[in-house]
Amino acid sequence: MQQYFTDKKICVGDDLEMNNEDLYHLIKVLRKDDKYTFRICDASHKVFHAHLINNYQCHIDEELNENNELDCDVTCIMSLIKNDKFEMCVQKLVELGVKRIVAYQSVRSVVKVKDEKKLVRINKIIKEAAEQSHRNLIPELYLCTNVKDLSKYMSEKNYICYEAEKNITDIDKSSSISYIIGPEGGFEDNEYKKICELGFESVSLGKRILRAETAALYMSSIIVGKCQ
């Protein structure tokens, strides 16, 4: 069942004006009419069933007692990698339940995010992935260009995926977890040291060397297994 988001708080019985993009998708792309029931999430992360009543409004039919979010807040600090790989990774992170994504301009990141249109595109990918996976909220996207600023995105537990004795499978469940993934070629030595000094604990993802996008999804999957 198709899902959309609204930045308004809604109640059963409301007639809600939908935005043009969602209406176009529902009517022109999916070719649905007023008989079709769809899902809509409001600003307080509540989920409802609704149906169209005209070409710009929907009627809120019922509230669903449904929470599809993880028990812990997960932040992925993903070093910038090639655009197509980064976008795919962001999409899958949203599907896995990550609540916050930080695009990090690592020392060895080849890709630079200077164009506002790129951030708009990534936010659109996040929104569509949240709709597809029936999330109760749209994950937040941030851009970080300085290693010192990483402290803004730290959680109760913080990990940097690197060569280390402690394996990620040994981490404990927590109310909030942040983890950082390096770019192609890994972290520069001094950068790694600074990240650890901020309070990120170094953990290993196993014996094999993983691509950045694989490492991000593997790490997220391990955390999801502990926080479902």
Q: Which two tokens stand for residue 172?
A: 């404990």
Among the CATH numbers 3.30.70.20, 3.20.19.10, 3.40.1390.20, 3.40.1280.10, which is that of 73-227?
3.40.1280.10
Fold agreement between 3-64 and 73-227? no
Give the pLDDT of residue 206: 80
CATH topology for 3-64 is Ribosomal Protein L25; Chain P (2.40.240)
Structure token pair of residue 228: 């479902």
**Alpha-carbon dihedral angle through residues 164, 166, 170, 174, given to the nearest 10 degrees:** -80
- Render pLDDT for 126-177 as a digit per residue (tens, 0 to 9): 999 999 999 999 999 999 999 999 999 999 999 998 876 677 777 777 899 9
* pLDDT tens figures, 61-78: 999 999 999 999 999 999
Find the angle CA(95)-CA(31)-CA(55) to the nearest 5 degrees: 100
As beta bridge partners, residue 100 has 75, 140
Q: Specify which residues 158 forms β-bridges with.
A: 178
C-alpha distances out from residue 167 to 74, 79, 154, 161, 221, Å: 18, 21, 20, 10, 14
For 42-64, how does the pLDDT look when each residue is reduced to its tens digit (9 = 90+)? Answer: 999 999 999 999 888 899 999 99
**What's the Rg (C-alpha) of the chain?**
20
pLDDT band at 98 (very low <50, low <70, confident <90, very high): very high
| Res. 218: pLDDT tops 80 | yes
Judged on CB neighbours under 10 Å (0-12, 13-18, 19+), 216 is: buried
pTM: 0.91
Give the residue extent of every domain in the chain.
3-64, 73-227
